[in-house]
Amino acid sequence: MSNAIYGSHRAIIVATEDPKGLMKAQVRLLALWDGIPDEVLPWAEYRLSIGGTFTPAVKGDLVWVEFPYGGGSRYPMITGAAQDAPHGIPNVAPEASGQGGAYEPSDVEGAPPLPALSPTKDFVYKRNNLLVIHSAGGGVSITNMASGSCIAMNEAGDIFHHAAGDFFLNVSGNTTIKSQGEITFESAAGFKTKSQAGITFESMAGFNAKAPLFGFSQF
């Protein structure tokens, strides 16, 4: 591994926990380094995007590697992911290629449709149980695939929040909700409103309340 190496080479990630804590990944050049033990393979730096974004590789990822420091084999640099198509299936997210097993979100009654997928045209990020899609039609969705929670806006501008667990909203200032249509609050359990000041209900039409039992009390 002492001879200079030039050009771009396909490699596979063999480890990602840099013992020196330098955020590098250990690489094996395909074919050229097939017989070399893992423990002596070099740790490669990443070619990072401007702004501090860091996308770590995962063991088994295929990447492109160069040797920018005079071709020194001990100082490789990962320049990007390498495309492959084992068994004719591209090694990209199925949501991007339209091939393989794409993630299937759970149905939520009454929710607007999620962004429509357009294979080969959408921006798709899928890693660490997170699926991010920017559709070709202008929709966007962020999904936690482990829980099914999702925040999305479809091509029609409908916005959809689905929390598979709890939903908590904290606002330090005022909160205003304006709607040109009907507002509906629906709960399968109880509904509670609490204020440290007064509560005012105002209607330009009627006020209707329906319940089998009413209770009012004063502190």
Confidence (pTM): 0.86
Place of tokens 């039409």: 205
C-alpha 82/C-alpha 80 separation (Å) is 7
C-alpha 171/C-alpha 18 separation (Å) is 41
Structure tokens at 22: 């330098």
Contact 133, 116 (CB under 8 A): no
Residue 155 CA, chain-centre distance (Å), reads 19
Contact 15, 25 (CB under 8 A): yes
- The rounded radius of gyration (Å) of the Cα atoms in the chain is 27
The alpha carbon torsion through 27, 30, 33, 37 (nearest 10 deg) reads 60
Report domain extents, the chain: 9-81, 93-162
Please state, for a pLDDT cut of 70, what percent of the chain lies above it. 99
Over 90: is that where the pLDDT of 216 sits? no
- List b or e across 15-29, with b for residues whose CB sees 16 or more CB atoms inside 10 angstroms: beeeeeeeebbbbbb
* pLDDT tens digits along 78-112: 999 999 998 999 999 999 999 989 999 989 999 99
pLDDT tier, 2 (very low <50, low <70, confident <90, very high otherwise)? low
- Assigned CATH topology for domain 9-81: OB fold (Dihydrolipoamide Acetyltransferase, E2P) (2.40.50)
Q: How confident is the prediction for the chain on average, in pLDDT?
A: 94
